[in-house]
Structure 1
Amino acid sequence: MFLSFCLRTTTICVLHRPNVPSGLVLALVLLKNGVSVRIIDKEINHRIGSRGSAIQPRTLELYDILGVLPNILKAGEGVPPLMVKYVRGEIKPVCTITLREHVKPTPDTPHPNGHVVPQDVHEEVLRAYLRELGCSVELGSQLLSFEQFPDSVVARIVKFKKTPDSIGSLGQTAGATSWWKALTQTYGASASSSIFILFRFEQFWHMWHEPPKLLYLRPSGVNSKVFMLIFIDSSKASADKTFTHEELVEEFYAMTDRRDVTFGPAAWLSDYRPNMRMVDQMRVGRVFIAGDAAHCHSPAGGQGLNSSVQDVVNLGWKLAHVQNGFAPEALLNTYSEERLRVIAQMLQLTTNLHKKILRGDSKNPDEGWFRGGDIQMLGVNYRGSSIVQEDAVQGASVTPYSKSGTGHIQAAYRAPDASGLVRAGSEGTPTRLFSIFSVEVHTVLLFGSDDTMRAEVLSRLPKDAVRAVLLLPQGQTATNWSSPALILEDRAGHAYAGYGMSVEELTVVIVRPDGVVGAVVIDAEGVDRYFQKILS
């Protein structure tokens, strides 16, 4: 039984599954900006199982700024350093594969190592934060179709009392097919694989690889008895085959010769085919897409969930600025402009890793399993964006996955953290920049000792959409206590050192609500130029 009704709304944001980390994060960003949201999911119950479980360092930073990081960290564990590899018939592993190298946290990068949280646990943590803001996921409700008008969108929603097996997902229904096909640019398809859950095995990550077949086993947590198994058969014979639970068990026994392993019931079973593709635009009128609805890719490298979260953080603050009257509607066009360039690079990265994992390399067959470098996403940037003020940089030749390499702060890249900041003239508890950054406003950081120039910048800042922070050099006291800015002493010296700032000269660093540096300028005119891109 189902009930169909229409809803008039200003905008619609579409994700492949709204009740996933990216959809929940988008709701959090909007709610924190005072924008009401409604999250619908056609599922009757929240899904269980650990699909995308890797949370990369850059996503941890965004969660830190968003204020949800403490419970995310409690719910998971660090990525294990090693995976063990077996050959058929051997109980002892033949080698170990390095998954990551532990990176020591620094004042500017406090979360340099990835974290593993089962996705169903991850989602529940985020839903708990949403409940604190008065929002919950509306289960048993599916977006069936929509129609756009000059001032609104009318969405047709179907409400179910049981699982809607007879209704396809968005992109397959009659009301959405043409729109979906018009957006989608397909890059190709790859191997058939299936995933299911089993019991009773040692607490490590395990792998058997006999091309064209690969079998990968991973526990959901340190003390969990639930494991995820991925089986991939890239042969032509299995290209269109969907494996049953029993067939997967037999494939496991055939590849491992481990019939001493006992299987429990499957908590989740899915036929997954990594079709590498992306849309050519992420906005059509008042409708926006994000996450897997916009880009489909191999899970290799753990970039999918993380890219999806970064999609919605980029979109969320822009939607809120427009909805709250801070910025013109044209700002929303920069969502596609900034994210498509990053997603194209992500697809190339994950596709290459997928090929390395499946085919291996004669010199280093297990290279594709390493989870460091660009995969951590700390270098993801928006070079060349029309709303980034890159006064000292020519062109946009640097790839979207790269670090600036200049030794000082640069527009279009992540804004580093800095600890040891103390409110000027006090002996209060130290704070840090990630605790000051906000998804609601731009944070304007003023470095240097020129009181006259600082006062001019502060007088020219737009109201409501900005938080000004005056960062005094180590040992300096404030000279203007009537300033509207938050005045902090860089008592530990990490802010000036991490941002590469001079004490003598004024430098203004404007940090966007998504934690990206929008501009690095030296005067009030530079500040004006930046905010003219955003607010006018």
Structure 2
Amino acid sequence: MDVLIVGAGPTGLTLGIDLARRGVDALVVERAEALFPGSRGKGIQPRTQEVFDDLGVLEAIRAAGGPYPHRMIWKDGERIGEQPLFEPVEADEGAPYSEPLMVAQWRTQEILCARLMEWGGEVAFGHEVTGLEQDAKGVTVRFADGTTARAAYVVAADGGRSAVRRALGVGMAGETVDPAPFLVADVRVNGLDRDYWHVFPKDDGSTLALCPLAGTDAFQMQVRLAEGTEPDVSLNGIRALVAAYTHLAAEDVTELRWASDFRPRAALADRFRVGRVFLAGDAAHLHSPAGGQGLNTSVQDAYNLGWKLGAVLRAGAPDSVLDTYEEERRANAAAMLDLSTGVHRGEVRRGKATVQLGLGYRESSLSVEMRDNPSGVQTGDRAPDGTVDGIRLFDAFRGPHWTLLGAETSLPGVRALPAAPESYGPGVFLIRPDGYVGWAGESAEGLRGYLGRFVG
């Protein structure tokens, strides 16, 4: 086997899809007996929508969810004011998706899993990793049932309590974002409209909120409890909280589908790569849920790593290409952790800062600029959408290939268009398989040498 992916959350499933379409032999293993049942990571940011467009699941994702409603603030059983959750971000030709989508995490994972199956991929449930050993040729992974699996590479996408990370001995430094305990649950509730995200604050700083989950008949309940309170995630505990914070009666909570308690942390793994093993998603970075950055940053990890593993395993690229995963993603995750913490503490507004369209890799060793006075789009930047000769760029980018704008080429694995949109500025641009500008020049001179780094 080429790659063993540990964890069937959004990170592992996204990576599985990307590897499957590259012809890489990969298996996703999951400790649980089924996909995660909760709504936890419900925000799909615009940049992740672009990734899902490329992977062929955006239409299903959009059909499964909807836009975020405004918040309605309540006090003593009365509505006292409406608040938009996000500062507006205008869509344009280069960024056609500008608003986050709300999709319950369980539904996102169902869609990703179905897409993986379409590509011939597989998820093996009930496989709990207990340890691993690696050598010069691969990794042997041990499971709780006494069986083992062997792969050239292993990717740990098994969450914040990652068994793989612990087996590697990789530390994860962090801080408590908020001293208060939090609780999140999926519930059915009578007596509330589904037009608003209903918020019920108390004078002691604790808050209960009920957000209608788009595409379902449930609400996601989030509670910031008073410090020193012990969370109770039972149905009776949930009902007691609703009765204590809102004008609703306990019996108005008619069903509890899933619940969990947590204390918000921001933490970053010391390393994202140890030999033939990579950390991705929550196994590599833990975010406060504020701002909706955790799931999205995790999907970006998978998207970054997938094409690099494909280059090494299928195109003959040197193993050193895989070092750029940690180089690019650890710095990015650190920035997103600061952002999530800032949103949680009220220091950063949700909006342009949180849609992830401005993220890039300008400082990366893979970003090569050959122009003397570059303007417009720079190497390392996200490649904007646009139109060339009637062809939409996102349509041209879609798939596991590279895309060249502004020159012809016969190089394998590269699709060429005769020009770049004016918004890019002058030059020739080579777009990486993950939608970032890898190389730019006045002409195509030097292009073959750059691509040679990824093709043996």
* Equivalent residue for 1:253, pick from 227, 233, 243: 243
1:54 matched to which residue of 2? 43
2:252 aligns to what SS in structure 1? coil
Residue pair 1:10, 1:286 contacting (<8 A) in 2 also: no
Q: Label 1:280 to 1:434 Cα distance change in 2 as closer, same or farther (>3 A).
A: same
1:276 aligns to what SS in structure 2? strand
* Equivalent residue for 2:326, pick from 327, 330, 336: 336
User: Using the alignment, how far apart are the partners of 2:300 and 2:372 within structure 1?
Assistant: 24
1:500 pairs with 2:425: yes
Q: Label 1:99 to 1:144 Cα distance change in 2 as closer, same or farther (>3 A).
A: same
Following TM superposition, by how much is the alpha carbon of 1:466 offset from its aligned partner in structure 2, in angstroms? Answer: 2.2
Q: What does 1:501-516 align with in structure 2 at a 5 Å threshold?
A: 501=426, 507-516=427-436
- TM (normalized to structure 2)? 0.89
- TM (normalized to structure 1)? 0.76
2:430 aligns to what SS in structure 1? strand
User: Using the alignment, how far apart are the partners of 2:344 and 2:85 within structure 1?
Assistant: 15
Residue pair 1:389, 1:520 contacting (<8 A) in 2 also: yes
1:140 matched to which residue of 2? 126
2:168 aligns to what SS in structure 1? helix
Residue pair 1:338, 1:382 contacting (<8 A) in 2 also: yes
Q: Deviations over 1:426-467 (max 9, x none)?
A: xxxx43111111442211111xxxxxxx56xx36xxx43322
User: Using the alignment, how far apart are the partners of 2:124 and 2:105 within structure 1?
Assistant: 19
1:383 matched to which residue of 2? 362
Following TM superposition, by how much is the alpha carbon of 1:289 offset from its aligned partner in structure 2, in angstroms? Answer: 1.2
1:36 matched to which residue of 2? 25
User: Using the alignment, how far apart are the partners of 1:341 and 1:260 within structure 2?
Assistant: 46
CA RMSD of aligned residues (A): 2.6
Q: Name the aligned partner's letter for residue 414 of structure 1.
A: R
Identity %: 34
2:218 matched to which residue of 1? 226
1:110 pairs with 2:96: yes
Q: Deviations over 1:281-320 (max 9, x none)?
A: 1111111111011111100000111000000000000001
1:443 pairs with 2:403: yes
1:327 aligns to what SS in structure 2? coil
User: Using the alignment, how far apart are the partners of 2:159 and 2:91 within structure 1?
Assistant: 42
1:183 matched to which residue of 2? 171
User: Using the alignment, how far apart are the partners of 1:526 and 1:86 within structure 2?
Assistant: 62
Q: What does 1:79-478 align with in structure 2 at a 5 Å threshold?
A: 79-80=68-69, 82-87=70-75, 89-90=76-77, 92-158=78-144, 177-180=166-169, 182-188=170-176, 190=178, 191-198=180-187, 199-200=189-190, 201-203=192-194, 204-210=196-202, 211-221=204-214, 224-233=216-225, 235=227, 237-238=228-229, 243-259=233-249, 262-356=252-346, 370-391=349-370, 408-419=376-387, 421-422=388-389, 430-446=390-406, 454=407, 458=409, 463-471=411-419
User: Using the alignment, how far apart are the partners of 1:209 and 1:174 within structure 2?
Assistant: 37
2:309 aligns to what SS in structure 1? helix
Q: What does 1:511-530 align with in structure 2 at a 5 Å threshold?
A: 511-530=431-450
Structure 2 gap ranges (5+): 147-157
Following TM superposition, by how much is the alpha carbon of 1:94 offset from its aligned partner in structure 2, in angstroms? Answer: 0.8
User: Using the alignment, how far apart are the partners of 2:372 and 2:358 within structure 1?
Assistant: 16
Q: Name the aligned partner's letter for residue 385 of structure 2.
A: D
Q: Label 1:438 to 1:173 Cα distance change in 2 as closer, same or farther (>3 A).
A: closer
Q: Label 1:373 to 1:172 Cα distance change in 2 as closer, same or farther (>3 A).
A: closer
Structure 1 gap ranges (5+): 1-8, 161-168, 357-366, 395-405, 423-429, 447-453, 472-494, 502-506
Following TM superposition, by how much is the alpha carbon of 1:73 offset from its aligned partner in structure 2, in angstroms? Answer: 1.3
1:362 matched to which residue of 2? none
Q: Name the aligned partner's letter for residue 410 of structure 1.
A: Q
Q: Name the aligned partner's letter for residue 225 of structure 1.
A: D
Q: Name the aligned partner's letter for residue 179 of structure 1.
A: L
Bigger radius of gyration among the two: 1
User: Using the alignment, how far apart are the partners of 2:396 and 2:198 within structure 1?
Assistant: 41
* Equivalent residue for 1:75, pick from 64, 68, 81: 64
Following TM superposition, by how much is the alpha carbon of 1:261 offset from its aligned partner in structure 2, in angstroms? Answer: 6.1
Following TM superposition, by how much is the alpha carbon of 1:173 offset from its aligned partner in structure 2, in angstroms? Answer: 8.9
Residue pair 2:176, 2:264 contacting (<8 A) in 1 also: no
1:380 aligns to what SS in structure 2? coil
Q: How many residues align?
A: 440
2:265 aligns to what SS in structure 1? coil
Q: Label 1:172 to 1:76 Cα distance change in 2 as closer, same or farther (>3 A).
A: closer
Following TM superposition, by how much is the alpha carbon of 1:125 offset from its aligned partner in structure 2, in angstroms? Answer: 1.3
Residue pair 1:143, 1:170 contacting (<8 A) in 2 also: no
User: Using the alignment, how far apart are the partners of 1:95 and 1:255 within structure 2?
Assistant: 17
Following TM superposition, by how much is the alpha carbon of 1:530 offset from its aligned partner in structure 2, in angstroms? Answer: 3.0
Q: Deviations over 1:136-184 (max 9, x none)?
A: 3222222221110110111112459xxxxxxxx888698863524x232
1:451 matched to which residue of 2? none
Following TM superposition, by how much is the alpha carbon of 1:520 offset from its aligned partner in structure 2, in angstroms? Answer: 1.7
Q: Label 1:281 to 1:132 Cα distance change in 2 as closer, same or farther (>3 A).
A: same
